Amino acid sequence: MLSNFPDNVIDKILMCLPFRVAVRTSILLKKWRYTPIRGKPYELPPSLFTCSHLRHLTLQKCLIPHQPSFKGFHRLISLELRDFTILSKLLECLISRCLHVEKTVQTLAQKCGCYISAPMLRSIDYTGNVRSICLKNIPLLAKLSLSHREYYLGTGKFNIAKFFEPFSALEHLHLNDMSFTAGAGEVPTRFSYNLYCIKHLSISSIYLSDSDEVSYALFLIRSFPNLQSMEIKVESDDNDIPPLESLEVERFSYVTFNHLREVKLMQSNGTIPEKQLIKLLLAKSPELLKMLIEPCLVEESETVQILTELTRFQRASPNAEVVYKLDKHPNPRPVSVSFVRMFSEVDEN
């Protein structure tokens, strides 16, 4: 069976094949589908840029050479570029000349600044140096996912207010890493514009031990008054994190999350800042319906203590249900503890 050949043999076979045959082979054999991603980046042939009727284009681990005669893929609606190498100006040219692109996925293999102007673009999934991209003329953009790579951190201040200003239609925002705010300077009090459009926020990695990351995350949450759902995945390298002043409920006396209905907190360790965050969201969300907490594996005694503390937190919504999802191995079915009734009993006392 060809599929059982060693990786180095498969690599040599594919490298000897013409481009079209190699692509066709990797499609036919599922085990070979991602084989071309190994080794040196493949330099795309100029003939690719003459395929004016393309509607969907996915390139992975490729070197995209300069094409001065490129006029654009005028029918292209989705563009995926993963682990690719390209000049900044060429990337800008590639996107700007594909006027009907609605979705783009970009994972940069090198540090690359980029100016993106795409009037029909509705979805961006970007992995790289978040601080080096500039998004303009994106009136229809509804979904934005940003994954910052630490080793592209760079120097200089990052103007977060200027970065978010063009997002007039954005509804879904996913931040995979808050480290792009490092060195951005003092957290602004508020934006000079309104971001009423954002309804769903997901933060996949935030260190509650990093006061700067927490401050910027809270600033963004405050800046989205119509937020309906929120997911936060907590990262922790220390369970003995002291309380954070920025998470005190008193600091949000003028803020209310009037539209927030669902909250999901993942990888909770029961640290003090996590409890502060839960307390804050419960106290400031009058329309909250459900808060789901998915903790890491903790000792049973700690779980009881955490649950006892959570039942004592004041909540603004009488309908708020807090579900503490216990996933204990080897039990294949996780156990969920819902204590909306406990809240009612505490309130009555």
Q: Is the pLDDT of residue 186 over 90?
A: no
132 DSSP assignment: G
Q: How far apart are CA 107 and CA 109, in angstroms?
A: 7
Beta strands (DSSP E) in the chain are: 42-43, 56-60, 62-63, 78-84, 103-108, 114-117, 123-128, 133-136, 143-148, 172-175, 200-207, 229-235, 262-268, 290-295, 321-326, 335-338
Q: Is the pLDDT of residue 321 over 50?
A: yes
Percent of the chain with pLDDT over 90: 26
Q: Is the pLDDT of residue 310 over 50?
A: yes
pTM, two decimals, is 0.80
Q: How far apart are CA 122 and CA 102, in angstroms?
A: 5
Which is more confident, 68 or 256? 256
Which is more confident, 167 or 12? 167
Both tokens assigned to 321: 């249900």
Q: How far apart are CA 247 and CA 218, in angstroms?
A: 8
pLDDT class of 296 with cuts at 50, 70, 90: confident
